[in-house]
Structure 1
Amino acid sequence: MAKSTAPSLSPTNWVADHTQRYLDSGGENGHLWYGPNGELSEGVPTLLLTTTGRRSGQPRRTALIYGQDGGDYVIVASVGGAPKHPLWYLNLTADPAVTVQVGADVFEATARVATPDEKARLWPRMVEVWPPYADYQKRTDRDIPVVLLTRAS
């Protein structure tokens, strides 16, 4: 099978739609996300993360809520509290070289899972950004990972 260079979008329709709007507008429509049901009237910041499929080798792109920690971007592998990690998380643990788009800014980055001490500090900040994360953790027995994205030099 020939490798594609165009990233595939999320199989979840509303995430794929959000991602496509983000791309089509250069980040103007989609950087602030209001949720599929209009949650959080002020919107939450989202970025686009492109990983490499750990089995296919194909680029995969999805939109994710983010926070910041100094110069790093912080994302949460919650998948709504599902029992398994999201595929994007499994991909970046296999290959931490990722592409990130924040608004119109597109850059290469390295992903890494937060240490336990970092997670203890970052988790409450991410729950402030998106309060449902707290409920997501209650829904699952897995420890929901927090990931830092560091811009490549």
Structure 2
Amino acid sequence: MEQRHEEEISDSPTGWVAKHVRDYLASDGDKGHLYHGIPTLLLTTRGRKSGKLRRTALIYGTDGGRHLLVASNGGSAEHPAWYLNLTAEPDVHVQVGAEKFAARARTASAEEKTSLWPIMVKVFPTYDRYQAKTPRDIPLVIIEPTERPE
């Protein structure tokens, strides 16, 4: 994702998520990387309609050098906006703790999801309940760095 110098980033409009993002940024990941004991990262996508940068905090897992995300949206019938944004523009920016890097996001294939889903359920067991409550197949996203972390 090309980010123009000093380009404004809009944080999640959800109050508690926006506070989490602010705390994460203010502490360079010291406060916020672990959210109630669960690892989180900051994901910045480009809005598919607005073209503006959008940032949110998400639970993540790892598989080798890749970061994994689940587009659960709390088990709702709709995909979350961040997922729709990255499917339109897969170049993203990520912050994990103090590390910041550019990356490329993609939806895991059905075969990949079969092996990666248990990793994410171990991190956050509620994902199984979310999948059970929605008719949509909840996407699992693979984030692969395109540059060395700062």
Q: TM-score range by the shorter chain?
A: over 0.9
2:98 alignment partner in structure 1:
104
List alignment gaps of at least 5 residues for structure 1: 35-42
- AA in 1 matched with 2:13: P
- AA in 1 matched with 2:114: A
Q: Report deviation, 1:5.
A: 1.5
Normalised TM-score (structure 1): 0.91
Identity fraction in percent: 57
Q: Report deviation, 1:143.
A: 0.3
Q: 1:126-137 counterparts in 2 under 5 A?
A: 126-137=120-131
2:12 alignment partner in structure 1:
10
The CA RMSD over aligned residues, in Å, is 1.2
Stretch deviating more after TM superposition (131-140 or 89-98): 131-140
SS in 1 for 2:105: strand
Q: 1:113-132 counterparts in 2 under 5 A?
A: 113-132=107-126
Q: 1:55-70 counterparts in 2 under 5 A?
A: 55-70=49-64
Q: Report deviation, 1:6.
A: 1.7
- AA in 2 matched with 1:64: L
Q: 1:21-32 counterparts in 2 under 5 A?
A: 21-32=23-34
Q: Does residue 87 in structure 1 map to residue 89 in structure 2?
A: no
Distance 2:71 2:7 in 1: 25
List alignment gaps of at least 5 residues for structure 2: none
Distance 2:49 2:14 in 1: 20
Distance 1:94 1:138 in 2: 27
